[in-house]
Amino acid sequence: MRAQGYLSVFRMRFLLMLQYRAAALAGFGTQCWWGFIKVMVFAAFFHSSLAHQPLSFAQAVTYTWLGQAFLALLPWSGDPDIAELVRSGNVSYERLRPLDTYFYWYVRAMAFMSARAAPRAAMMFALASLILPLIGFGAWRLRAPATTEAALLFIPAMVAVVLLSSAFMMLINIATVVTMSDRGANALAVPLVIALSGSIVPLPFFPEVMQRFLFLQPFAGLVDIPYRIYFANLSGAVALAGLLQMLTWTAVLVFAGHRAMNSAMTRLQVQGG
């Protein structure tokens, strides 16, 4: 019965976010620019070193373009709507809905992220896999998934990214409710997310001793694990372990977030008006 409410919230937010075409185009433009810079850095790096690298040049380039395509799925800030609710005091109305406030906001975060990412990812795939070879940059293109198995595993992996990333976003939202401002939590989130997810440097390029830790920590599921599944750097049992890792962290973060939300809401103070 109540599932209808959450579904409807997801649908409305998703459709709403799709309206922002100018923002999607601007974001796409920026992501292209950074994508080219990163690919050029990799090209220089692979040309200057003959040592064996953990990823091939083609894999590193694919990793980069995937990162640019799905950049909007990274939880480096809270939900701007929730920050606005906290600023304006409209958070009161959220508590008047016969919904679990955590999951009410969680589905909104999921809709927000996926609707932002969908058009950007479509444009990026078109550019990096179709247009680049046509204009003579075939070596710098985004490759297709390495195997059928990789392609099939990549779909649930991206769903898990949205689930995991939304759970992260919820922690930022809750910090926003508690501190009455989204600044602190956003500032803390950015460096953690870009460094530990593999967004800035793919995690396999980190020192060997760190690899086990990097694979197990929760941010790896945002970027590194799904992308390595895509080009079959992780495959078979390891790929499944990666998926399990993502879902486990999602469950942990949702559980922790749900508890934190309840305690934040019992201490809620809404002043004036």
Partner 1 sequence: MAQILVEGLSKSYRVSERQSGAWGAVKGLFRRQVRIVEALKGISFELERGELLGFIGPNGAGKSTTIKVLSGILEPSSGRCEVDGLTPWRNRMRHVARIGVVFGQRTQLWWDLPVIDGFELLRDIYAVPDSEYRRTRDTMVGLMRLEKLLDQPVRQLSLGQRMRCEIAATMLHRPSILFLDEPTIGLDAPSKLAVREFVKTLNREQHVTVILTTHDMHDIEALAERVIVIGNGVILADTSFESLRTEVLTERRLSIDFVGEAPALSIPGVAVCSREGNSLELSFDPRAVAVPQLIGRISAEYELADIRLEQPRIEEVIAHFYSLHGATEA
CB nearer to partner 1: pick between 159 and 265: 265
Shortest CB 220 distance to partner 1, Å: 35
CB nearer to partner 1: pick between 180 and 216: 180
CA-based Rg of the chain, rounded to a whole angstrom? 20
Shortest CB 96 distance to partner 1, Å: 5
Distance CA 206, CA 165 (A): 22
CB nearer to partner 1: pick between 96 and 134: 96
Q: What phi and psi, each to the nearest 5 degrees, are found at residue 74?
A: -85, 135
Shortest CB 83 distance to partner 1, Å: 14
Shortest CB 153 distance to partner 1, Å: 34
CB nearer to partner 1: pick between 97 and 183: 97
- Two structure tokens written together for 120: 């950007």
Binding interface with partner 1 (CB under 8 A): 1-2, 4-5, 7-9, 12, 16, 19, 88-90, 92-93, 95-100, 266, 268-273
Shortest CB 3 distance to partner 1, Å: 10
CB nearer to partner 1: pick between 7 and 200: 7
CB nearer to partner 1: pick between 148 and 271: 271
CB nearer to partner 1: pick between 179 and 211: 179
Shortest CB 172 distance to partner 1, Å: 21
Shortest CB 162 distance to partner 1, Å: 21
